[in-house]
A and B are shown apart, each in its own frame.
Chain A
Amino acid sequence: MTLTDLLINMKVVLPLAVLIAWACVLLLVDLFIPKGHKGWTALIAALGLVLCLGLTIVQFRQASSGFNGMVVYDGYSFFLNILFLSSGLAGIALAYDYIKRMQIERGEYYVLLLFSISGMMLMSQANDLIVVFLALELLSIPLYVLAGFTRPRLESEEASLKYFLMGAFAGGFLVFGIALVFGATGTTNLSAVFTAINNHIADLPLLTVGAALILVGLGFKVAAVPFHMWTPDVYHGAPSAVTAFMSVGAKAGGFAALLRIFISAFPSLSTDLTMILWTISALTMFLGNVVAIAQSNIKRLLAYSSIANAGYILMALVPYGNSAVSSETVSAALFYLVAYALTSFGAWAVVIALEKAEGQGLALDDYAGLARKYPLLAASMAIFMLSFTGVPPTLGFMGKFYLFRTVIQGGYLGLALIGVFTSLISAYYYLRVIVIMYMREGEPVASKEFWVQFTAAVTAVLVIVLSLAAGPLLNLASRAVLSTF
């Protein structure tokens, strides 16, 4: 590969490459930023994200592929990269004061965040199973470290170790699945796998098992039942700012890979895989929502809620083999991911505002009386809870509306029924948060940090406004198509 070739190829991954370079440089720069002034690191990291966001928006003209088809750049990755980079910004905003308050302010925090985002971006662009694996590790390893960031605290260390072990385990499944797919088709390139299946030169049983194992591996990442066991403990133990980022970024990253792999490589396996996806989706929605009812800790409640939400997004994937709706599968899932991301970040911002040192202030009862003392904070939390439930006019409702539409159009009315009924179950615990905030008396204490409040307010407004003016976002999601090369 000559230098010009390299440059041409680099164009495909330009924002990603810039971000990685930025993160590496930041790692060095951070050494010269004195302790106690790590806000500068945050600022530089945020600048990097904004720069990459700008690059992403400016750069996108047409779909292209590079590095011999290993990575691609299309409407799909454009949409997701914007989501990832914005999540990064939200992640920094939430962490900025939080890590100071928790006395874990170290510059690596932001660097690790950037690395993880670059992993997510690579995930959305990966067109080769090996790159998927690479991206998954790049995404996960910084998160393992971040989960244990409140180091001597046992819960945090436990979260980190648990996440790491489970992640490694899941990675094993993924690699094994990739190996089987390679064995069955002789290639790891998604387009080539698709061609091999279509030309009937693939060993189908082997391939199906391989695909199923890939599903298992990524199922861990998105926290789908029965691969969700780690989620509550990790979400609970990790610093809340990390959890917020993880609950959005890691999940979206997992789905980025899942959607691309299944839709561009395995559409013809859908007869076998659909039933599996159907079952996983139904179980995830059901279990996540039912177990959430029993939670008395807000972090665990949101953890189970995030499990349930993985189930809803998976619902969109069920009819992926039906070529009439497969493009809607993608846009419905992406749209819902945005809705979930905004709602989730907002809810976590409120959690962070109320959290006190040593894991205090996280019980649901600590929210009693919030509406009286902090009406705006309580109102935004109420909006997020209603959005999670799917009550209009919120983005969560629009997202679910789109998902159910796709599922019914794909011919799975039964799954849609399960979806709406589990939403009803979820209403119970989301409303309980509102009940506690608005209908009980208490003396909560919230921190008045600007960026946390700012995140809560902005996401609350967006959740409402984007649902009433849903046109542009819907339009953007419908253009987020997967291109094949």
Chain B
Amino acid sequence: MNLVLHPLTLTTFLPLVGILVILFLKPEWKNAIRWIALLTSIATFAISVVMLTYFQVGNPDMQMEINTPWFQFVDWTISYHMGVDGLSVLLVMLTTLLTPISILSTWSAIEDRVKEFMIFFLLLELGMVGVFVSLDLFLFYIFWEFSLVPMYFIIGMWGGPRRMYAALKFFLYTMAGSILMLLAILWLGINQGTFSVTELISRGSIPASIQFWLFLAFAAAFAIKVPMWPLHSWLPDAHVEAPTAGSVILAGVLLKLGTYGFLRFNLSMFPNAAIKLAPWMAGLATIGILYGAAVSYAQKDVKKLVAYSSVSHLGFVMLGLFALNPQGIEGGILQMVNHGLSTGALFLIVGMIYERRHTREMNAFGGLWKVMPIYGALTLVVTLSSMGLPGLNGFVGEFTILLGSFGSAHVSPWFAGLSTAGIILAAIYLLFMFQKLFLGPLDKDENKILKDINWREIITLVPLLIFIFWIGLYPKPFFVIMGPAVSKLVNIIQAAATAGLP
């Protein structure tokens, strides 16, 4: 396949075309800019769907791999090395799906500096897809760090009152982790002589004693991004201040960069260390689940509630990944997608009401169902999905994760047991939220005149709802896509576990 017309190159870099066009449009032509951005992101989604048709289900290896030398860094060959496998392909799809939805959600929310907003948004998509598909550590790092920049601008320029603080905190926190990873990448380059992720994994020649430190250095970057307790404090600030579209992408995709990083790098490249540290990671994940849930319950601001619920939900993902068995990891991957769908939808929902009332305080609402029935119904579905109601997507993910971690040979079943409480807590705070917003008397005058959501807003939610039901009712295709790659990964870990025994 050709270098430029390769499906992965196209999926990654197509947003650049839109950016180039937008650059030549006048800032006043807001609708033209919006349409170009939307069409570009839809085209990107279309190409990623085409990419998915090339994807061979059942093949555990990298597919559509592209590997050409980029430049020579003294004795290192930096390669333009991309590929997808069962671990990453769903996340690429999630990214390309959420981006047009987010852009559509900004139609009336972003009026100021639309041109810059759309440029940053498309750059963000480029960076995120790049992270998921790059298989060269150098290339990966470039996308990884780069994806910070547009998000920083999106939070800082279009965010709430404390946006500058939140943007700076977001950037500094994430960079703090990344620089440790950079040193680890350099170490790998110096001592292993290659940046190729696939080669490092298949070689498996990193000494176990060093793996421990490399694991920690990579984990620093990913744990902040996930975010794992106790490194989560940037998240509520960033979420609360970010504009709706920013929050959707932040929760929907950016956090997945962290969990994906664990999956692709920490588990695959440093299996010995992963086994050794699995109980610790699972422990932190469990704390995150319970802590996130408890703090969510205490929130008065809907957006903050959803933000903290992310800490809890991502804790489930981490618990699943570090169960180190097929169910756990598959559940973890599925839960990444689920969280992207449900929490993305929740942020859209919060954004819709914020656009109408310019407040997110739960006390300011009540009885909204009477004036906004469609909105209420859709919110109910999303809330239930986030809670993990059987029949919807959240249940499948969380159930598989718990199944995996109960049966894990590497982490104690206690973690799974405690985490189950997280599901109950989730039900409490989410239903509590729903109740406060939609039920009860419609006693505020400002709320009585609210209009129900319009077609555009419904369209932003529908694709997410389709997947919420699809995964909830028939998750098999998703498991089939990731299955072989996950078993391959588990085999690597298993091999390391047996070889590591004295």
Contacts and interface: CB of A to CB of B under 8 A. Distances in A.
A405 B190 CA distance: 8
A393 interface: yes
Nearest to B139: A392
Contacts of B145: 391-392, 397
Interface stretch (A347-355, A422-430, A443-451): A422-430
A387 to B, nearest CB: 12
Interface string A168-202: 00000000000000000000000000000000000
Contacts of B183: 404, 408, 413, 416-417, 420
B141 A435 contact: no
A89 B390 CA distance: 70
A34 interface: no
Given A328-B74, A392-B146, A439-B167, A421 B179 contact: yes
Interface stretch (A79-87, A93-101, A227-235, A471-479): A471-479
A204 interface: no
Interface string B137-179: 0000110011011001100110000011001100110011001
A11 interface: no
A271 interface: no
B454 interface: no
Contacts of B157: 438-439
A56 B71 CA distance: 26
B148 A428 contact: no
Nearest to A413: B183
B498 interface: no
Nearest to A392: B142
Contacts of A121: none
Interface string A373-397: 0010000000000100001110001
A435 B168 contact: yes
A420 B187 contact: no
B73 A474 contact: yes
Tell me the interface secondary structure of chain A in the complex: helix
A470 B149 contact: no
B146 to A, nearest CB: 6
A469 B69 CA distance: 12
A59 interface: no
Contacts of A428: 168, 172
Given A420-B183, A438-B157, A474 B74 contact: yes
Given A391-B146, A423-B179, A439-B167, A470 B73 contact: yes
A40 B318 CA distance: 68
A254 B172 CA distance: 33
B190 A408 contact: yes
A469 B71 contact: yes
Contact of B186 (A328, A372, A408, A421): A408
Contacts of B152: 431
A478 B74 contact: yes
B159 to A, nearest CB: 9
Contacts of A393: 142, 146
A470 B175 contact: no
A143 to B, nearest CB: 34
A289 to B, nearest CB: 13
A323 interface: no
A409 interface: yes
A271 B149 CA distance: 42
Contacts of A423: 179
Contact of A404 (B74, B171, B172, B186): B186
Contact of A438 (B70, B72, B141, B153): B153
Of the listed residues B157, B182, B187, the one surrounded by the most CB atoms of chain A closer than 10 A to its CB is B182
A475 B75 CA distance: 11
Interface residues of B, number: 33
A474 B171 contact: no
B113 interface: yes
A394 B74 CA distance: 18
Interface in B170-216: 171-172, 175-176, 179-180, 182-183, 186-187, 189-190
A435 B164 contact: yes
A386 B149 contact: yes
A372 B113 contact: yes
A253 to B, nearest CB: 25
Interface in A331-376: 331, 371-372, 375
- A392, A409, A416, A470 interface centre (most CB from chain B within 10 Å): A392
Interface string A300-328: 00000000000000000000000000001
B179 A420 contact: yes
A455 B157 CA distance: 27
A328 B190 CA distance: 13
A438 B186 contact: no
A420 B113 CA distance: 34
Given A397-B145, A438-B156, A431 B171 contact: yes
Contacts of A475: 72
Interface string B70-94: 1111100000000000000000000
Contacts of B74: 328, 331, 405, 474, 478
B89 to A, nearest CB: 25
Contacts of A392: 141-142, 145-146
Contacts of A434: 156
A420 B172 CA distance: 12
Contacts of B189: 405
A136 to B, nearest CB: 31
Given A423-B179, A474-B72, A474-B74, A439 B156 contact: yes
B175 A424 contact: yes
* Among all A-B residue pairs, the 3 with the closest Cβ atoms: A471-B71, A420-B179, A392-B142
27 contacts: A391-B145, A391-B146, A391-B149, A392-B145, A397-B145, A401-B186, A405-B74, A408-B183, A416-B186, A417-B183, A420-B179, A421-B179, A427-B171, A427-B172, A431-B168, A431-B172, A432-B168, A434-B156, A435-B156, A435-B168, A438-B156, A438-B157, A439-B157, A471-B72, A474-B72, A474-B73, A475-B72
Given A409-B190, A471-B70, 20 more contacts: A371-B116, A375-B116, A391-B145, A391-B148, A391-B175, A401-B73, A404-B182, A405-B74, A405-B186, A405-B189, A408-B183, A408-B186, A408-B187, A420-B180, A424-B175, A432-B168, A434-B156, A439-B157, A439-B167, A474-B74
Interface of A: 328, 331, 371-372, 375, 386, 391-393, 397, 401-402, 404-405, 408-409, 413, 416-417, 420-421, 423-424, 427-428, 431-432, 434-435, 438-440, 469-471, 474-475, 478
